[in-house]
Structure 1
Amino acid sequence: MKLKTKSMLVLLAATGVVAAPLHAFAQNTVTLYGAIDEGLQYTSNVKGKSNIQTTSGQDSGDRWGLKGVEDLGGGLKTIFQIENGFNLNSGNLNNGGRIFGRQAYIGLQSDSFGTLTFGRQYDPLVDMLGPLTANGNWAGSLLSHVYDNDNTDNSIRVSNAVKFVSNKYAGFTLEGMYAFSNAAGAFANNRLYGFAGQYVNGAVTVAGAYLQVNGNATTNAGGAVSAADTDFLAERNQIFGGGINYALTSAATVGFVYTHTNLTNTTGSEYFGNLANAANSLHFNNFEVNAKYQFTPSFYGGLMYTYTMAKYDSNAGQARPHWGNFGGMVDYNLTKRTDVYMQVAYQRASHTPDFAAPLGQAVLVGTDAPSSSMNQTAVLVSFRHLF
C-alpha cells in the first residue's frame, strides 16, 4: 500500500504519533508493507518426542516496514527503509527484541552509479547468492542448509554497516559491504566485510559471494553481529560460494549452489547448543541442487536436495560428520496477496564420535530443537498474506 508522506503524516498526527510540519516532507513517497505467515507444523522428533505446533514466519518472516524515496534531482535520490520482525503467535519482537531488527538504513541512490546505504542491512551473500538457493528464493527455513551454516537463509543480520550496490552493467551487478566493530582500540573485534557479484543473461543467472566475520558478540556486543544475529559462537566465520540458475522454459527452473564455511575456535551454535569439545576448526561444504515448476500462474512446486560434509578438528580428536537434506514445497495463490503452501523436509545425519557431540543429531532449521536420533522430519501447512 503506497501513501504520499503528507497523507501518512496527517493520519499519524491525528493519532498523536507525529506532530511535525507537513510541508517539509511533501515530496517524499513512503510505502507501508509487510508479511504475515502462520501455520501448523509437525516434527517427528524433538528431543525424543514428536510435536505438533503453531509456527510463525517459516517461509516469509512476519514483518512490517516502511520504505521511502525523495527525488533530489540530477538523477540522485534519498532512500530509507525500516523493517520490524515479530512472532505472530506471541506478539514478541524477533531479532533480539529490536524494534527494527530486520533492517534499518538510509542512503543515496544514483541513476549513474548505484546505491550507497548506512545502517542495519542484509549482507552481499544474502542479496546475490541466497536467491539461487531454494531457501533463499521460493522456499524458507525448513529447506535451509544444515544449521544455515552458510547464511543463505539470512541468519546473520549486520549492524553498523556501509553497503554499496552498483547499477547493472551488461548484465553484471557488484556489491560490497563493511560493518564496523564500533569499539575503540579494537577495530577488528566483531567486524564484518563481504562482497558479491551477479550476472544475468536471458535464462542464466550466475552469482558468487564472500563473507567474513571477525570476533563475536561475547567480547563486543555492540559490533557488527550480536549474539541474536548469528548461528555460531566462533572467533572467525568465513563463507564463500557460487551458484547458477537456468530457466529451461518459462515455467521450469533448475539450479546448483556450492558454499564453503570455515569456522575458527567454535564453542557452539544456537541450533545444537555447546560442543562437547570446542572445535579448533569446523568446516562445512554444501552442495545443493534445486528445481521449481510453475504449473499455472497461481500454482508452483519445488524440490531441493543438499549434501553437506563437515570437518571437525579439536584437541579431543577429529570427526567427519555429514548430512543429507531433502525438501519440497507446493504453493497456491488464492489472490495476488494471499496464498497457502505446504512444505516437507527430511534430514539424516551421520554417526559421530562422542567427543564431537552433538554433531551426530539431526536438526532442521525451523524446528525447535535437535532430534534425539540421526533423523528428523517436518511437515508444515501455512497461510500467508502480503500487504
Structure 2
Amino acid sequence: MKKALLAAALMSAGVVAHAQSSVTLYGRLDAGLEYMSGVPTGANANGAANSSSNRFKAESGDWGTSLWGMKGVEDIGGGNKVLFQLEGSFNTMTGAGPGGGGLFNRWATVGLSNSQYGTFTMGRMLFISNGVWDFDPFGQSNWSSASLVRGRNWPQSSNNFAYQSPKIAGFDFYGQYALSNATSWNGNGSTGQGREAGAQITYTTSLFQVRGLYDEIRNPANGQLWGGPVANNGINTANTANGVFAASREYSALLNVFLGQFKIQAAYQAVRSAGATGVLPGQPTTLNHEWGGVTWQATPAAALIAAVYHVNGNNGAGNATIYTVGGSYNLSKRTLLDLQAATVRNSRNANFGLNANNAGFAAATDNPLQGRQQTGVYAGIQHSF
C-alpha cells in the first residue's frame, strides 16, 4: 500500500512539473523573386567594377529573415521562471543554413525571469542595435534601415549578458554587455569579437512611442572604435575592412506615432568612430543617418508603406537616399504576400546599394558604380509557424 501511494505521489509530481514547463517550436519562411538594376560587373586595373547590368534573382529573406527556433520556459515558483531560446537563420531557396555563426547564429540564450524584477539572459543574441526594428517602416527588410549603414544595424553578438526591465509607468529599459574573451578587455586580435555594449530606454503610450538607444562595437583586432581603413585607395576588393560601418559608437533617437489606421515613424542616428588611422579621402569616419515613413493599415489584411532613408558621410564620402514603397496582404494569420520597390540615389562620391553591402567598389560587393543609382523590385510570400 505504501509503495502504491509513493508511486502515485511521484506520478502526480511529474504531472505538476510538466504543467509548469513548455517548449515551443517556431519559424518563418520567406522567398520570392527579385529584380535589380545597376548591378556591378567587370573590373578595371585596380579591381573596381567598370560596368553594370540588370539581374533577376530567386531570393530568400528580402521581406524578413527565414529562420527557425525553439523557446521554452519553466516556472520554478515564487514568481521566478527559467527560460531559453535557440534560433538560426537559413536560405529558403537553397536550404543552406547559417555560416560561421553556427546552427543557432541568431539566438542561443538561457536566463531567469521575474515579473517584478525583469529578465536576465546570457549567450548569443541579436545585438541591441537591432532595436531600430520597431521604428523602421519596413521592419528592417533587405532594403531599409540597415542598407545605408552597410549592416551596422543588424549584427549578432556572442558572449553577451542582457537585462530587460519590466514596464513601469510606460518606461522600460534594456541593456547588453558582451565580452571580447581576449586578454585585452576590448579585444586584441586573439578572438573573433571585440567588446560590445549598449542600452536603450523606451516610453510607450497609446498615441506614441519614443526610444533612445546607445551602442558601441569594438574592433576585435585591436579593441578600437574604428573598423580599419579600406585598402587599395578606397577600392576594397577583398571586403576585409569596413571602417565606421564595422566598429563605432551609435546614438539613436526613434519615434512611432499611432493615428488610427496610420503609423508614422521617424529616426535619427549618429554613427561615430574614434581613433581612426590610415583614413583615405572618401572614407567616412562619421555618419548621419535618418529616415521617416508611414504605414497605412487600409484593411485588417492589407497594409501600404512608404519610406525615405538618407545617409551623409564626412571626409568626402558623399550621401545617398533610398526611396521605397511597398506593402503586404495577409492571406491568413500565418501567411502573407509582400511587394517592395526601391531606388537608391547616390551623390558623386558615394556608391551605397539597396542591400546592406560591405564598403568598396568591387563587383563582389553588389554596390552600384560610384555616383550611380540602383533600383529593385521584390515580390514574395512569407509563412510563419
> Could you say whether these structures have the same fold, taking a TM-score greater than 0.5 normalized by the shorter chain as the test?
yes
- The within-5 A match list for 1:237-386 is 237-249=248-260, 251-264=261-274, 279=283, 282-312=285-315, 319-352=316-349, 360-365=350-355, 369-373=366-370, 374-386=372-384
Higher CA-based Rg: 2
The one of 8, 12, 35 equivalent to 2:28 is 35
Gap change, CA 1:46 and 1:375, over 3 Å in 2 = same
Percent identity (aligned): 27
**Partner of residue 79 from structure 2, selected from 62, 75, 100:** 75
Cα shift at 1:287? 1.7
Q: Which residue of structure 1 lines up, in the alignment, with residue 235 of structure 2?
A: none
Q: Distance in 2 between matches of 1:366 and 1:267?
A: 24
The one-letter amino acid paired with 1:177 is Q
- 1:372 Cα deviation from its structure 2 partner: 2.4
Alpha-carbon distance between aligned partners in 2 of 1:266 and 1:232, rounded to the nearest angstrom: 12
Instruction: Give me the CA root mean square deviation.
Output: 2.6
Q: What does residue 199 of structure 1 align with?
A: 203
Give the secondary structure class of the aligned counterpart of 1:142. coil
Supply the AA of the counterpart residue of 2:253. G
Deviations, residues 325-355 of structure 1 (Å, cap 9, x unaligned): 1111110111111111100111011112xxx
The TM-score normalised by the length of structure 2 is: 0.79
Normalized per residue, the structure richer in strand is 1
Whether 1:148 and 2:126 are equivalent positions in the alignment is no
Whole-angstrom distance in 1 between the partners of 2:93 and 2:204: 39
Q: Distance in 2 between matches of 1:295 and 1:236?
A: 41
- Is contact 2:267-2:291 (8 Å) kept? yes
- Aligned length, in residue pairs: 329
Question: 1:171 aligns to what?
Answer: 170
> 1:286 Cα deviation (Å)?
1.2
Structure 1 residue 231 displacement after superposition: 8.9
Could you report, residue by residue, the CA deviation over 1:177-199 in whole angstroms, capped at 9, with x for unpaired residues? 11001112x11111001100100
Structure 2, unaligned runs of 5 or more:
1-13, 41-51, 188-193, 224-239, 358-364
Contact 1:145–1:286 (Cα < 8 Å) also in 2: no
Structure-1 residue corresponding to 2:134: 131
Please tell me whether the aligned partners of residues 70 and 85 of structure 2 are also in contact (alpha carbons under 8 angstroms): yes
Q: Where do residues 213-232 of structure 1 align in structure 2 (5 Å cutoff)?
A: 213-216=217-220, 218=221, 232=242
Cα displacement string for residues 197-219 of structure 1 (whole angstroms, at most 9, x for unaligned residues) = 10001111000100011222x46
Contact 1:308 1:323 in 2 (8 A): yes
Structure 1 distance, partners of 2:108, 2:258, is 34
Instruction: Give 5+ residue unaligned stretches, structure 1.
Output: 1-21, 221-229, 269-274, 313-318, 353-359
- Cα deviation 1:127-179 (Å, max 9, x = unaligned): 3x3311224x3x61212354435744x1x110000000100000001011110
Separation in 2, partners of 1:323, 1:277: 17
Cα distance, 1:25–1:349 mapped onto 2, change above 3 Å: farther
1:125 to 1:236, Cα distance in 2 relative to 1, 3 A? closer
| Counterpart contact for 1:150–1:260, Cα < 8 Å | no
Give distance in 1, aligned partners of 2:78 and 2:241. Answer: 43
